[in-house]
Structure formats: C-alpha cells, structure tokens
Amino acid sequence: MIEMHELRMGDLLLVQFDGTSREGEIIGLDREERKTQVQTDVQDFWYDPNELYPIPLDENQLLKFGFEKQDQPGGGVKYLKGPFRILISGKGNFSDFEMWYREDRRHITQPIAVHQLQNHYHGMTKIDLIRAVSAH
C-alpha cells in the first residue's frame, strides 16, 4: 500500500485487480474520497489505497526513464539524465545512494520506489520524470 500524500499526477505504480498486478500511471487523484485514477495498458480505473503498490527502483527502471549508465572505478555506478545524477556504491545497491541536481544533493539511506524517485526528481528539477519513448 502507498500513502496518498506520496502520490502525484504522472507517478508510476502497480495496481492490483482481480489478482493481477499491472503497471500504470496516475491520471487522477481524489484525496477527499481517497481514490487514485490509474491508466494501465488495459483501462483507466479508480483504485483504493490498498490496491496500489510501489515499483521498486532498480537499474532497469532508471534505463526506462532514459538515464545513461556509467560504471565507476571501485564498482560504483553513476546514472545521468541531463544534469541530474544518481550514484550507487555497487551494482544493484539502491539501498544507500546519492542523487544530486546542481547544488541540491540528497543522500538516500533506504530502498525507494519509482514514484518516490519521480517525486525527488520533480522536487529538485521542477520537471516531471517520465518514461523515455521507445522507437519501434
């Protein structure tokens, strides 16, 4: 379950419906009714908070957002998207890492979800972090 106060329009998360999980994007928020409208590849639907789940942040998710990967000496990995940076100490270690944009630097000391990264990114850059469009 995800707390309503963490959610913003455009955030990505998992919805559970009829025992199936699907990834979707928030397209509507009704904080008074505690409902979240999510668009998936199947439908747009309003969900209760107990039907919403976080997508764990990992390298695959960063690459879907268009981050470039740079292996660092010593085993760390840096991910770049324009002037925004994420530095993890070792491959796949998203439980203790740094992110920065210009002079705004943040040290994250626990695993976070994709929607939380989107919110940090927006808070730091004032730009929404959206998925890169893949060419078919």
Residue 135's pLDDT is 44
Under the banding of pLDDT at 50, 70 and 90, the label for residue 134 is low
CB proximity list for 97: less than 8 A, separation 6 or greater? 86, 87, 88, 89, 107, 108
Q: According to CATH, where is 2.30.30.140 located in the chain?
A: 4-53
Q: What is the pLDDT of residues 6-55, one digit of tens each?
A: 999 999 999 998 889 999 999 999 999 999 999 999 899 999 999 999 99
Reply yes or no on domain 4-53 having CATH 3.30.70.270. no
Sheet architecture: strand order including 20-30: 44-47, 35-39, 20-30, 12-17, 52-53
Under the banding of pLDDT at 50, 70 and 90, the label for residue 3 is confident
Average pLDDT value for the chain? 93
Question: Is the CB of residue 7 less than 8 Å from the CB of residue 29?
Answer: yes
